[in-house]
Amino acid sequence: MGDYREIWSNLNMDLDKHDILCEALPQAFGDIYLTQENRPEAMNYFNYALAEVHGARIVELKEEKEKGKKVVGTFCVFVPDEVILATNAIGVGLCSGSQFWIEDGEKVLPRNLCPLVKAFMGAKVSRTCPYFQSCDMIIGETTCDGKKKAYEILEDYMPVYVMELPQMKREKNYEEWQDEIKLFIKKMEELTGNKVTVDKLKETIDLCNRKRRALKRLYDLRKNTPSPISGLDALLVSQVAFLDDIERFIARTNDLCDELEERVKTIEGNNKKRIVITGTPMAVPNWKLHSIIEGLNAEVLVEETCTGTRYFENEVSTEGDTIDDLVKNLADRYMKINCACFTPNDGRIEDVIRFVEEYKADGVINYNLSFCHTYAIEYGKLEKALKEKNIPLLNIETDYSEEDAGQIKTRVEAFLEMI
Ligand code: BJ8
């Protein structure tokens, strides 16, 4: 990575602390990613995007801001990117997957809380995330209690706007979500001074659909036996999706898929166990479970998570002539996301079973971030449903630290031997 200290300083970052973070990341990335054999050539772009995650992309954001664009940070795949883009703003996913930020998060939040929430708060409190520092506003959402209440604390540090997400999927909840999207449009228009027009919104719906299609293409390629790409690499692509320029991301992901399509014609078989992961998101640089699984005799084929299929499944229709029509289309698509914050959430279990069949998987690993109660409780239903179908299941509850890595490895090893 180049020298970006002046830019970071102008973003009011804690440079000394940030140096410590910058030292740790390349080492971890090198150990986990660059030691993989026979990686696709097109992954070079994603290596670069990760290496420059606090550099080149931050320069781009700075340049866009100088031209008058606004940058908003999000934490949930329910916040519609289409609206952000339709006001000519840039959205960045701020969910944080690093243990580095936990200590600072715990200065303002209880310790017994989901690491994802503590990490994003720590990133802000410590002023060591250039994305956070680049944001003009944070868009929160009422999903789990941890995030919902953390936004109240975040307001002490920067402007926050919270969308009220319904927690059920009845007809009236679809209408409530439409109303929330309309309020969000108003908020984004106020922030940017740009009006959302029917044409512009159709254009950004189309753009986001193209991004979804590129990711879907990648995941469809993973259905091959063997998969032409490791789960680790596919996870990196998904993680980069939350930060990168959207047009470039679509192009580079399609380049990768072109290469993988060639690969599947010649790839030799292996005897690796095929694994579906389901559960809580894995924000960058959380590669812990994938690296354990793929360090053993197994490959991760699909993630039924918000850094996986929940991010790109289902497109938004561009049918209609009014903003109201398009908002309805947006609400219809987003309400199909099966998050455990909803009750009931049987769609998620149906998705997991569908993926086991589609990806010809041998087993499922449920990934639960510590203290994420909604997913932890939902595990019981998942376990019952998979047992009825004779699908092997392992539950891993963990945080971002490496302390339990050895124990998880032993449990995954035993699971792989059993299936
Ligand atoms: S749609 S999964 S991105 S809320 S922060 S719920 S892990 S305790 S992230 Fe999420 Fe939106 Fe749902 Fe997806 Fe649990 Fe942690 Fe809460 Fe989390």
Q: What is the pLDDT of residue 187?
A: 98
Q: Which of 102, 114, 177, 311 to mutate to test the pocket of ligand 1 (most atoms within 8 A of CB)?
A: 114
Helix (H) or strand (E) holding 351: helix 346-358
Asked if residue 226 lies in contact with residue 186, where contact means CB atoms within 8 angstroms, the answer is: no
Phi, psi of 183 (to 5 degrees): -65, -35
Residue located nearest, by CA, to atom 11 of ligand 1? 76
User: Residue 21, exposed/middle/buried by CB under 10 A (0-12, 13-18, 19+)?
Assistant: middle
Q: Is the CB of 120 under 6 A from ligand 1?
A: no
Q: For the CA atoms of the chain, what is the radius of gyration?
A: 21
User: Could you tell me the pTM of the whole model?
Assistant: 0.97
Burial of 254 (0-12, 13-18, 19+ CB in 10 A): middle
Orientation angle between helical segments 246-266 and 231-241, nearest 10 degrees: 160
79, 368, 369: which to mutate for ligand 1, most atoms within 8 A of CB? 369
For the chain (length 419 residues), average pLDDT per consecutive 10? 91 97 92 96 98 97 98 98 98 96 98 98 98 98 98 98 98 98 98 98 98 98 98 98 98 98 95 97 98 97 98 98 98 98 98 98 98 98 98 98 98 98
Q: By alpha-carbon position, which residue is closest to atom 1 of ligand 1?
A: 339
Q: What is the pLDDT of residue 3?
A: 85
Show the tokens assigned to 313.
Answer: 């499944």
281 lines ligand 1 (CB under 6 A): yes
Task: Please give the distance, rounded to the nearest whole angstrom, from the Cα atom of residue 210 to the centre of ligand 1.
Answer: 24
pLDDT, position 43: 98
- CA 148 to chain centroid: 18
**Residue 38 token pair:** 């026979």
Residue nearest to atom 14 of ligand 1 (CA): 372
What is the per-residue pLDDT for 414?
98
Quote the CA–CA distance of 328 and 325 in Å, as a whole number: 5
φ and ψ of 90, to 5 deg? -120, 135
Q: Is the CB of 342 under 6 A from ligand 1?
A: no
Give yes or no for residue 116 CB within 6 A of ligand 1: yes
